[in-house]
Structure 1
């Protein structure tokens, strides 16, 4: 008989914290850079093109002794039926035996690990004296990205929040996001920065040392001429072909980093400029920078871009941390298979 832990969204939100997510994602990047982890081929299937689809990301983390997968499905008509449009489910298995160890709601895991990923890019690539951050995008990921960035970059004094496609909505979005950020940081030092709406995107870009982007854009809204020398940009919005948030021209001179080279060039922020021939395709993976094997920023004037496409290893490492926390606290449900 095999026992498996089941963690629903409520249990995960009680257990998972910004520091836990950051530690798990960094570990996943390091394991990958050392060759102790592997990403497996992604699966994308459209049940009804433009209306219903799913994708599966999977891989293994040898250092942690787990392999796993995440299935995310999107059914656009669901809200009209009183159901969520998105469902996410993660499974964790013992790498030595194949035994299932955990079934988890992938929704909150994705939020936390995505926020951690964008912030980790800023931690290792932004200037040490960076004080101003721009959050371009006001969706569900924005509070997690801001909170993780403030946790890892305590020198940040000001956060600007903008909705790049509907700037008139920036103030209302900022008002809603701020208490969420404060809640996420309540157990790890609190929110130490001023958070303000920035309806003028160009002005905000020109005055920001760190920029985080998280939108479904297919037309870039960060123009190359706005970005000042020394700026760091973490892009998390592009996760399928054709998506783009940053002007392709910026890739011609910026130092480019990513979570997985193949994924960045096929579905990430790098995809469009690479296929257009603007960008050579040379990417330093962030795990190498964290380990010290690769150089990150080498000059205060460098413009750095981190293409965070989202990899299965982030989910597996975070799920493993949650499983340990659940076992230590007695949370979740244990089922016998």
Structure 2
């Protein structure tokens, strides 16, 4: 009865360009700030704590005529089975009829839109002369973070990568990032750019201008006393209750922005500090879209520490899915099925 467009992972990889995704994520953040979207309640279930979980994020893009959801599972032991730990599926519907429009692989969309989100946090909150980037985490999303950051900050001179569990993972990541990822995505960057795996996170933190955290940590990896004035954090990994990547005292000193206030209070980097009364809801300066829309100001001075707490909403997946469908139509890519 209904015709659906189906796009697999390889097809989304073929048609989604990082700069275009960044533009769309920026657009949807602005739409959210202007009241043109809705984020529906998050559904989460942990099958085995710290080992296997799934979440359902959903929402509505009013101006685009779409609503939908993304189901993502993370089964950490999948790596031993030679299959990805992160598996996702995006479903898109017409908001006029409720009819399904399409289904897409969600893992690549999750990676690329999350990379765009972290980099946009830096675009609107980091110092414009930032040169040294620290990635805490060397998993699936880390490469997208670097690709997006180099798209928006082409003058970065050094990228440091730290893996709390396995230094060799950080080494392998650094050795492969250019040939296996950045070149395939067509990302241009400073020819003198240096990539390095680091063992000493304290030393790396002390010289970093921008720090992006993409780990499943449940205890702080970065302490407040290591952080120099003017540092920006994009906190990406804390997206479920109980996760925590940075010392709450950093947040106490920082100007804080979030992607969605309610979601971040419940499952973001600010969740635990608020529960412990280290900070309050009133310490949140606003949502990132409010800076983009010109409603509020981001960084106030060069010495200020800034934090962007990004838990990820379905709005990002839906706007990226919309872009994918548009590009697929132009290039006659994908499969149409009857439901």
Q: TM-score, normalised by structure 1?
A: 0.94
Give the conservation status (yes or no) of the 8 Å contact 2:43–2:56.
Answer: yes
**Deviation at residue 180 of structure 1 after TM alignment:** 3.5
Picking from 270, 292, 298, the partner of 1:290 is 292
**Which residue in the other structure is 2:305 paired with?**
303
Does the 8 A contact of 2:138 with 2:169 survive in 1? no
In structure 2, what is the equivalent of residue 10 of structure 1?
10
Hey, what's the Cα distance between the residues in 2 that align with 1:11 and 1:174? 26
The answer to whether structure 1 residue 116 and structure 2 residue 116 are counterparts is yes
Q: Is the 8 A contact 2:133 2:158 kept in 1?
A: yes
Aligned pairs for 1:86-235 within 5 A? 86-167=86-167, 169-186=169-186, 188-190=187-189, 192=191, 193-235=193-235
Report the CA distance shift for 1:147/1:74 in structure 2 as closer, same or farther (over 3 A): closer
What displacement does 1:273 show?
0.9
* Residues 39-54 of structure 1 aligned to structure 2 (within 5 Å): 39-46=39-46, 52-54=52-54
| 1:191-228 CA distance string (max 9 Å, x none) | 64322222221111111111111011111011101110
Distance in 1, Cα, partners of 2:76 & 2:175: 28
C-alpha contact (below 8 Å) 1:182/1:190 kept by paired residues? no
- Does residue 332 (structure 1) correspond to residue 334 (structure 2)? The answer is yes
Q: Give the 3 Å change call, closer, same or farther, for CA 217–65 of structure 1 in structure 2.
A: same
Q: Distance in 2 between matches of 1:173 and 1:79?
A: 16
Aligned length: 336
Secondary structure (helix, strand or coil) at the match of 2:245 reads coil
Contact 2:157 2:190 in 1 (8 A): no
CA shift, 1:190, in A, is 4.5
Q: Tell me, which stretches of 5 or more residues in structure 2 are unaligned?
A: none
- CA gap of 1:74–1:246, structure 2 versus 1, over 3 A, is closer
Aligned: 1:313 with 2:315? yes
Q: Is residue 156–residue 190 contact of structure 2 (8 Å, CA) maintained in 1? A: no
- TM-superposition CA deviations, 1:308-333 (whole Å, max 9, x none): 11111000100000011111110000
Q: Are 2:244 and 2:269, in contact at CA under 8 Å, matched by a contact in 1?
A: yes
* CA 1:39–1:164: 2 relative to 1, 3 Å: same
Supply the distance in 2 between the matched residues of 1:116 and 1:203 (Cα, whole angstroms).
Answer: 27
Aligned match of 2:60: 60
TM-aligned CA distance change 1:82 to 1:134, over 3 Å: closer
Which TM-score applies when normalising by structure 2? 0.93
Q: For structure 1, which segment, 219-228 or 169-178, has the greater mean C-alpha deviation from structure 2 after superposition?
A: 169-178
Contact 1:182 1:191 survives alignment (8 Å): no
Checking the alignment, whether the CA contact within 8 Å between 1:143 and 1:180 is kept in structure 2 is: no
Deviates more, 1:189-198 or 1:257-266: 189-198
* Local SS of the residue matching 1:156: coil
Q: Which moved more, 1:212-221 or 1:160-169?
A: 160-169
Change (3 A) 1:190 1:80: closer
* 1:331 to 1:212, Cα distance in 2 relative to 1, 3 A: same
Match of 2:274 in 1: 274
Give the secondary structure class of the aligned counterpart of 1:221: strand
Question: RMSD value over aligned CA atoms?
Answer: 1.9
In structure 2, C-alpha distance between the alignment counterparts of 1:174 and 1:104, rounded to whole Å: 30
The DSSP-based 3-state class of the residue aligned with 1:55 is strand
CA contact (8 A) 2:30 2:289 kept: yes
Structure-2 change in CA distance of 1:33 and 1:107 (3 Å): same
CA contact 1:93–1:99 (8 Å) conserved in 2: yes
Q: Which range is displaced more, 302-311 or 46-55?
A: 46-55
CA gap 1:256/1:91 in 2 versus in 1, 3 angstroms: same
